[in-house]
Amino acid sequence: MENNNNLENKVVETEENMDPLLKSSKEVHPLSDDEQEDDEEVLDLSKVEEEETILSHWPLLTALLILLVMLTLEFGFKFQPAFPLNLIIYAIAFLLAGYNVLGMAFRKAKHFDFFNEFFLMSVATIGAFSIGSYSEGVAVMVFYSIGEWFQDAAVNKAKKSIKALLDIRPDQVTVLRNGNPEVIDPKKIVLDELIQVKSGEKVALDGILDSDSATFNTAALTGESKPDTKRKGEQVLAGMINLDKVSQVQVKSLFKDSKLSKILEMVQDATARKSQTQLFISRFAKIYTPIVFALALIVCFAPCLFVETYDFHQWFYRALVFLVISCPCALVVSIPLGYFGGIGLASRNGILFKGSNFLDVMTKINTVIMDKTGTLTKGVFKVQEVITQDFDQNELIRLASAIEANSTHPIAKAVVEYAGDKAAGLKAENVEEISGHGLKGTIEGKVIFAGNAKLLKKFNIAYPSDVDALVDTIVVIAVNDKYAGYITIADEIKEDAKQAIQQMHDLKIQTVMLSGDKQAVVDKVAKALGIDQAFGDLLPEGKVEKVQGFKDAGNRIAFVGDGVNDAPVVALADAGIAMGGLGSDATIETADIVIQNDQPSKITTAIKIGKITSQIVWQNITIAMVVKVIVLILGAGGIANLWEAVIADVGVALLAILNAVRIQKMKL
């Protein structure tokens, strides 16, 4: 059985055995000096241990059985084997239960590292044997090892929860070369090659759909179970599962550059970057353990100076109780386990924290500053309304679509998409593009003008004055030199944007929107969503100034953005959040937290996960310290014995671990 007592043996990972993909994450997001100093709890995501069975723990189970039989004989039948038979039986049980602990204590002692839980438990149990408390010495080692067994299971569960992300990387792909399908390693695919994805198969690389349409399960990337239907030319990402017929995807990113690979880098890095609480506990344990040894020596020898009836055996026993209960394993394991659980819970909800330190940061946020386009809005132009004047609305849409079909401008595409097949068979002739104004052409003998208000002014076509006061982008339509109406086009607000703002207000968080769009457009969106403050007409440096201003005012800020120009403010904020679906690579790279499905409502989900994690971590710290202090005092006073000490130690460890594991089961 592998040593199951030390988290560092379970989760430490050397540069040599790291997956090259994961290895690169430390170069992308280097650890701070503090994190490097205590870098013992990095989850080894490139390897997952085989499932351990009950039989694989036979030495410990045998030791437990021997202990139970001996205790039954002693207390149930008032029979105990004579010395040295009882010593031999208990010694066998002791070695079966504790050979890993003793071995680790010896290896550390060779490097003059005496202040650790292995050495502490070894001294306490061997000391119990030395004074004839065989059953208690075995019990301490058996129950300590059982506690560590449960800790092992909890840590492995956390590892596997996060490691499951790695399983969505296909290890082979079908590529079409010279018209023939060929199954190869996805790392050997080059750009623009066509890969074939069968129904139920995972997409291996990022690309664009070459088939007419296909439906994908995107839950592994976004946390959303709702299938997503893609059309020809739309982006498809590695990790998506094809739910439809056989589809073809044109590769646009190499294996190492796919969004999925970047996600895995972020998750690996997240387990390496520790919170301040974790760093504090790591340092606390290093100081706490030698102090405990010193206090145990004082408990053992100091009373001889002022107790007339000093009995070395009695005070030595009390010192052993002191050592057993002082073991810091409940803190050392359960706290990082809590943070691993928080990272895993976030991942399942489509949120990637690049470090457990950012879970803590999110608990302190009181101001969320957001970009508009791509963050609160979809970043895609949509027709909002069609207004006509003495003209049939459907006819206006048909004519506008037919002439706009001759342009590649995003606004023109929005009009054509809105019209659908209403303009089928209708064709514009003699189309003339007037730069900065719009289009002019002939449809069924009618002269059609489609563009901005300046187009109508240019041709002296009268139109209502209130058209100039409109905030949204508009396409003004005139037919045969007569104004017919206009179509308003705007960036569509995301479905959950208003809900997201309301959730933030419920958490007493101030909301701010920054945008490069004109102030009138920004004000309209802010009013629709209920945002507290909104600033428009901002260049990238203007956004930086605004964020810095809020920071200077003492606010703890999270900035949410998606564009390249958002990278500077994402880096400046206390917590930088990137929209990972449509967001630029630069912003995702700079961000501390990535929202994979681009939903603004995930901002409050991230805050809630941070708060839940923090609450459970501090519950564990409080429970562990209170119980230990009480039993330490009782042990030093001779009230608590070794049995009570080990039960208290193992009990509080298991309680803390079960509390930490709760995070992984929570639903938000």
Instruction: Name the nearest CA neighbour of 214 among 187, 195, 190.
Output: 195
Q: Which entry of 269, 371, 517, 592 is annotated as an active-site residue?
A: 371
Query: How far is Cα 222 from Cα 349, in angstroms, rounded to an integer?
Result: 7
Q: Which amino acid is at 579?
A: M
The secondary structure of 497-561 as a DSSP string is HHHHHHHHHHTT-EEEEE-SS-HHHHHHHHHHHT-SEEE-S--HHHHHHHHHHHHHTT--EEEEE
The secondary structure of 109-156 as a DSSP string is HHTT---SHHHHHHHHHHHHHHTT-HHHHHHHHHHHHHHHHHHHHHHH
371 catalytic per annotation: yes
SS3 183: strand
Q: What angle do CA 290, 295, 298 make, to 5 degrees?
A: 130
* Both tokens assigned to 213: 């349409």
Instruction: Name the nearest CA neighbour of 236 among 264, 202, 266, 267.
Output: 202
Contact status, residue 579 vs residue 591, Cβ threshold 8 Å: no
* Both tokens assigned to 154: 């909890």
Direct distance between the N- and C-terminal alpha carbons of the chain, in angstroms, rounded to an integer: 37
The gap from C-alpha 259 to its chain's centroid, in whole angstroms, comes to 15
Task: State the burial class of residue 606 (Cβ atoms within 10 Å of its Cβ: 0-12, 13-18, 19+).
Answer: buried
Query: How far is Cα 394 from Cα 392, in angstroms, rounded to an integer?
Result: 6
Contact status, residue 152 vs residue 10, Cβ threshold 8 Å: yes
The H or E element containing residue 383 is strand 377-388
- Residue 183 CA: distances (Å) to CA of 196, 197, 209, 250, 258: 10, 11, 19, 16, 19
Q: Which residues are catalytic?
A: 371
